[in-house]
Structure 1
Amino acid sequence: MRATLHTMRLRLACLLSAACGLYAVHGPVHTQTQTQTPATLPASPQQAASLSDRLGAAIGAAVRAQMDAGAMPGAVVLIGNEEGVQFKQAYGWRASQPEREAMSTDTVFDLASLTKAVATTTAVMQLVERGRLKLDAPVARYWPAFAANGKRDITVAQLLAHTSGLRPDLDSNPPWTGYQTGLHKVIAEKPQTPPGTRMVYSDINFIVLGELVQRVSQLSLPDYAERHIFHPLGMRDTRFLPPAEMRQRIAPTELRGDGSMMRGTVHDPFAHRMGGWAGHAGLFGTADDLARFAHAMLHVAAGDAQPNRRQAQPARAYPLLRAETLNLMMQRQSPAEQSEWRGLGWSLDAPWSPQRETLPPLGLIGHTGYTGTGLWIDLLHKQYLIILSNRVHPRGLGDARPLRRQIQALLSATHPVTTASTLADRLPALQEQVAQASSPGVNVMALPAMNATNTTVMTGIDVLRSQHYSALTGQRLGLITNLSAVDSKGWRTLDRLSTAPGLQLRKVFTPEHGLNRDQEGQIASGTDAVSGLPLISLYGKQLRPTPDMLQGLDTLVFDMQDAGARFYTYISTMGEAMQAAAQAGLNFVVLDRPNPVIADRVSGPVLDADLRSFTAFAELPVQHGMTLGEIARWLRDDIRTRTGLEVKLQVIGMQGYKRPMRFEQTGLDWVPPSPNLRTPTTALLYPGVAWVEGANISVGRGTDKPFEWVGAPWVDADKLVEAMNADKLPGLTISMAHFTPASGPYQNQLCHGVQFRITQRDQFDAQLLGLSLTRQLRLQNPSFQIDKTLGMIGSRDTLARIKAGQSQEAIAQSWQDRLRDFMTRRATYLLY
């Protein structure tokens, strides 16, 4: 499947037979009025408005969800095509510590491994075009000392393709510093596998390539890149070792061990040791500058030597690379038996398309950076995507991968279906590899692409897709969903069903918090801009679909992430919709998802039958230990018993799911299902802390720590911490908290209370937390409105025992008889 060395030599010979040379100047760049920063490329107003209108809200929702989840403090997203910029927006914060600073589109980011693709690969391929380097030549031809320790046969191409056999990183111990010291350590390296036999992503490869640039051009990589890439393209904010005057706009990365913040200093430890840059890391830049680079690459792909010809002033041609060079770079070089496809200097993937997983991973080149950066160029559709974040700020704990997947999925939903033949016809250089990948016996669906995940669990939508949507084919569908329903590739279930062949998705219904799970209060109906489908609110005047809403449908599909607590209203929305479907004679299909608070844990008071409400739809304990698919099976029988209606239910179950799994063990992306249920840790606390939410107490809504902070102006924080600690709640630490919520019962008022931190998840019991919190608030202050907790607790007996001052142990013991009865019935509905 990969190009042979002989084929590479032939292509290279053809490439080098053309006239060589690099132009030193580029024409004037299009500018806009913006402080300190040149604008990006010109934009087509009609295209920009169209893409912004269609994807702007969905992209913003995806970014904000990941910010809520703690994946990043903020981000800049830019989308463009060969005509110019189509979409550009900054979100959130570029700094959260020591003080918050708003993100802006001109923020300068540590680009991390984008250095490899933008600077080093481009420099190397330019030098190949000039005949100064040869791809199939041994590295030792240019750097004789490199041959030591079995590296004599490693070629330049193998470094670019990460098939050299070298390790991912240099050793960091004993501590060392200095560029030359780093090179000596490279010389001491030994290949771990024979060159050309295995792809292993390696920073060492690009440290070597950066040194080769210097050896053959007589310019350091920073000087070469500035002279031959950045300056000609007008990339004025892109450089190694950024100067002090840029510091204010640079997004800080991580706290150092001494407590200072890294800002304008390269985050990568080996580039830092080598003086602030190397061939693998050290580049800083903006979204606008990367757009200039991507724009130039698109015009290389088109064979256009004058990408700025639309500008008013004449521009000298600056061919960043030749089309023949790019054609070679975007072909697979990694060994056929490995699933990850890589070209020369870039990762490979299929173009953005509704069925891109059915295509060979060819036609799109991309690269990401450890700090949370990414650049992708779709050479088929002539479109590029830039996502820049400092996900490592402030403590190195974020994750940019879910957002990358989700935005690429949204882009894919806007393109028409692409076939392998279309790919081969429009990108002739890939015809041979496309044909090989599409030959009989090759299962492209089984080939993980660049953005694939290592998921342990397949959710209902993943299973449905693997079955080619056979359960829904030919039916007119209504979908009840929100943003939390994404598949393992980052696609919204809404977009999967609206673009899948053979399906007829007609209407979309939304629950509390709306489609984008970020609203409070009643939700209005509207339209989903991505799909163009009507959005019908089930959390406004109507909580249940009416017959008119269901007109013209055969099946209702339900897919959302539940919270694992009885009072989370998505259970109620599902139950109401099941009843409406039964009345209308519709099928009801549930696409199952994990219970995020562990599905083998059942605890808390069981709901009194006469306390049913929209926050208490069925006689379940607070922690029911069931998935939504299992609850749907329970509700089917419950509805039959109460109303005589027969629900035509089908549950598309998960694969690989086990009841004791924590959400982090599933490998799935966490998308907060509602504004304040931000992380899996918050989800664990929620079933306990929410006991008191109906009373005159803040549970942290309107702060950065919802359900982790609880308090009120009248709470004595010292006494509450002492009392709750005396209850010896397992797996939990409790400390004082003082906070001012921006919403809720004490908006803009200073509250005193407690902060909860889970220390041992396997021991933590949210129901004991809820009980302790409610008891101690009652014991400490008679102004606590304990009667208003009944709707959440759901048991008059439990509330009476708390008011009577019974012990924690006695109250928890009082739940056991009803829990045993529930467990017996529950067992008949379990799927896993």
Structure 2
Amino acid sequence: MPNLKQITLLFVLVLLVSTSSLAKETPSTIAAPSPKRLKMDASQLERIDEIVNQQIEKGKLPGCVVAIGRRDGIAFAKAFGNRRLEPSKEKMTLDTVFDMASITKPVATATSIMILVDRGLIRLRDPVAEYLPEFGKNGKAKITIEQLLTHQGGLVPDNPLGDYQHGVEQAWENIWELKPSDALGKRFVYTDVGFIVLAKVVEKVTGQTVAEFAAKNTFQPLGMSETGYLPAEALRARAATTEQREGRWMRGEVHDPRAYLLGGVAGHAGLFSTASDLSRYARMMLCAGSFNGSKILSPATYQEMIKPRDIAGQLRSLGWDSRSKYSSNRGENFSAQAFGHGGFTGNALWIDPQLDLFVIFLSNRVHPDGTGSVNGLAGRIGTIAAGSIIGKPLAKVHGEVSARPVSEVLNGIDVLEKSDFKQLAGSRVGLITNHTGLNRTGVRTIDLLHAAENVELVTIFSPEHGLQGKLDIANIDHTTDSATGLPVYSLYGESRKPAKSQLQEIDTLVFDIQDIGCRFYTYISTMGLAMETAAEQDLRFVVLDRPNPLGGVILEGPLLDEGKESFVGFHTIPLRHGMSAGELATMFRKERDWGLDLDVIKTKGWHRQDYWDRTGLTWVNPSPNMRSLTQAVLYPGVGFLETTNVSVGRGTDTPFEVVGAPWIDGQQLSRRLNEAHLPGVRFVPIRFTPDSSKHAGQECEGVNIICVNRQVFRSVPVGLELAIALHELYPEDWDTARLDHLLNSDRLLNAIREGKNAAEIRELYQADEKSFRSRRQPFLLYR
């Protein structure tokens, strides 16, 4: 039996062995998949096994690793087949190291560039030659960082391999001498050369190779201990074999021949990684640039990186594919926010922030003879992954939860109806309304009040566009409502206010019209003038409130200049005010000092952050050219341009979504606007011929304005950038004589005419927005 001394010695030896073992580097591992916790259907994910094994049997690939997850973890992880067939078979394992090939572009190079953008050391709009003067030769002086990131810099896909076979220094001399093969910014041409150059930009700015910079600023902070260039011997032993080179099987050695001749470190290829490490990167990207306490990118820079750009019909983000001719490895049911990339050796990485989903597919399809094919398989796996999500994904967009359930909003008329019209009991009513005055089920407010036993509906008043909302003429006549036989007095004819003679038999004016949240939309002017009349005639005024379709949080633009009040600018509020009609009514009464008996029948269930599509209410075109929520969102910024000599799409199917004129070059204007990098929007060149209104019957060129992310989109900066660009590009053609008719701001008008830039103009109205946000606070009725 051992004594105490022997037991103690044995314990020390065990401890030493254990400590020594822990000190050794161990391969990264993927946490046990948990589909149920992540709200993914395990049985659906199991279908991946069958389609992968079928393709392996067909010889399309020797094996692969698939990892699927969400920001909170891994839902599926499995290794299939072999990572080596020649010279002897070796089973694929989850910790296999893969040659990332072109996934190097977004994960190493583009991420490094965006980190430098975040730090103010690089600007996307800057010419590359500003950082690498040698690059500016032979017509390349104007190529920008962003154009290289999106493959529209006009560079060849690959320069000859012979350009790299005389040493690294000579290879760079050959790159400097290249000439663009395409018109700058005109076409999407996928190019490795552009990313080779971008890695050189990183090196020039930081003094570190892209391998060193990415390791220090991305991979190490994220705990990606097995990701990098030129993998060490221990990692090479676990690497998937590709093809033969110089009489040896490549294993842990970059497959791309140009990256190989550049020493294994390049911007377009050369990175190695594992499924476990890539999942950390993907989860960082699902968390808007941060993961486990490490911030790689700021949320704003992250959003700029993943924002799609339309390049001649190909959607690309900065370093990423969004939806282009190279997207065959993309899941068919991914959202519009999805971004990803593939790699020649047989890899695909797709990340979908809206679905809160990432799909990693890693293979060595080029082994052993370069004939494998996996893009279709990777895309099918992505489709299965997205289809396995249970319920509606609770995805965060710009830090806000975007999947809160749609509200069941009741308008003011619905609330009034549920109370059996008690707030109007005994009243003789004059109703200001139009075709938007409907309850939630589509019954007219006119008919509800006319049928109410304790309410006497005496008179109807209609605003611009008439009772049916279909007229687009300057003066509208009085008429009669055919269903009730009641007179309908036009408030868009000889007078914009109710006449005293029209009010003699009533004691209460009721307002029920759907506004859209823009200062120069005239329904709130009709309300204000009617309130003024009610105050003069000692009548009660009741607003049946409705949601602001643009929500009640965001406000934009300059205040109306004092003294410029008009029917298209009733009160000193911004272009986009973020208030309901009822809230505006309380502001008008107080700030106009009207002694008015005012009552607002509030909506029920509407929250300030809710746009129209979160109300559950049916959209009714409030006016002939306001046909969708998208157009309403664009209107405060695009609408004020329509008093100039450009078409804003009236007379087309998409009013306020297009801007053009016969004298505009659509490609030139779209390029200029996209270079401004306005958040949440992109501009596509377009030709259209309005059949009425401005430039009727004439072919116009211009831009289609596409809101790609409403959370960060702002319409007023879009309108101002359009104005700046029109003044800059077409100073002899664009007529600004009536620009101020709806803008109503001398400061901004003069700044545009003086050629001020967007930042300078923005400074002119920032104080207006701040003061109005405070000023409106006492009048807000909703949280």
TM-score, L = length of structure 1: 0.45
TM-score normalised according to structure 2 size:
0.47
Q: Which protein shows a greater Rg?
A: 2
